[in-house]
């Protein structure tokens, strides 16, 4: 019986080999076609995203200023340094994105320059942040009894034995 199963498996393996090779070749061709078709679309999407991010950069800067002022006021200046640091990073990033978008648009590579898209970006007002002003909870420390856990000892494991 075992020999018969082995013989059938060998026959299946022989027949599957050429089919697997055909599938591999077909998948390679389809992947190349997909890459060829997706390339221009991906480039257009990248350019459009850069353009939109550039348009949103001033609104992001304005929004971070309002949020930072609100946070600073809510925390009564206790975290001014950290807030200013984050605000600076966001401003720098928004500036870089805006500069890149301006370079891309001025180079004429934007596919949507004539599409009549609106240049207006609206920003909803930022809701005031209500920080948790309670002091942080004290951290608890505990000691492990050295007699109960030694660093070199392996943990005990319990294995359930199957019932017969």
Question: In whole angstroms, what separates CA 15 from the centre of its chain?
Answer: 44
Determine how many CB atoms are found less than 10 A away from the CB of residue 75. 15
104 CB contacts (<8 Å, ≥6 apart)? Answer: 47, 50, 51, 54, 110
Say what the pLDDT of residue 110 is.
Answer: 44
What the block records as the tokens of 133 is 């002003």
Distance CA 8, CA 3 (A): 9
Tokens 């034995």 label which residue?
Answer: 161
pLDDT at res. 20: 87
**In tens digits, what is the pLDDT along the chain, a chain of 164 residues?**
788 888 898 888 888 888 888 899 999 999 988 888 888 888 888 888 888 888 888 888 899 999 999 999 999 989 999 999 999 999 998 888 888 888 876 665 544 444 444 455 555 555 555 656 666 666 655 555 555 555 555 555 545 555 55
What's the pLDDT at 66? 92
Which residues, 6 or more positions from 58, have their beta carbon under 8 angstroms from its beta carbon? 94, 98, 121
Q: What is residue 135's predicted lDDT score, i.e. its pLDDT?
A: 65
CA gap 15, 6 in Å, rounded = 14
Mean pLDDT for all residues in the chain = 76
**pTM exceeding 0.85:** no
Residue 41: predicted pLDDT: 87
């Amino acid at each position: 019986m075992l020999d018969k199963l082995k013989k059938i498996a060998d026959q299946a393996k022989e027949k599957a080999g050429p089919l697997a090779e055909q599938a591999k070749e077909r998948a390679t061709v389809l992947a190349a076609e997909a890459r060829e078709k997706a390339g221009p679309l991906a480039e257009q999407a990248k350019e459009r995203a850069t353009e939109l991010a550039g348009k949103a950069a001033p609104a992001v800067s304005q929004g971070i200023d309002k949020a930072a002022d609100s946070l600073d006021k809510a925390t009564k200046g206790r975290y001014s340094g950290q807030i200013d640091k984050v605000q600076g990073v966001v401003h720098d990033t928004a500036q870089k994105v805006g500069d890149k978008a301006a370079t891309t648009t001025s180079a004429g590579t934007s596919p949507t320059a004539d599409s009549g898209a609106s240049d207006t970006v609206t920003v909803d007002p930022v809701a005031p942040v209500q920080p948790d002003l309670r002091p942080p909870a004290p951290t608890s420390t505990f000691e492990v009894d050295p007699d109960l856990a030694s660093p070199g000892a392996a943990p005990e494991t319990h294995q359930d034995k199957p019932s017969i």
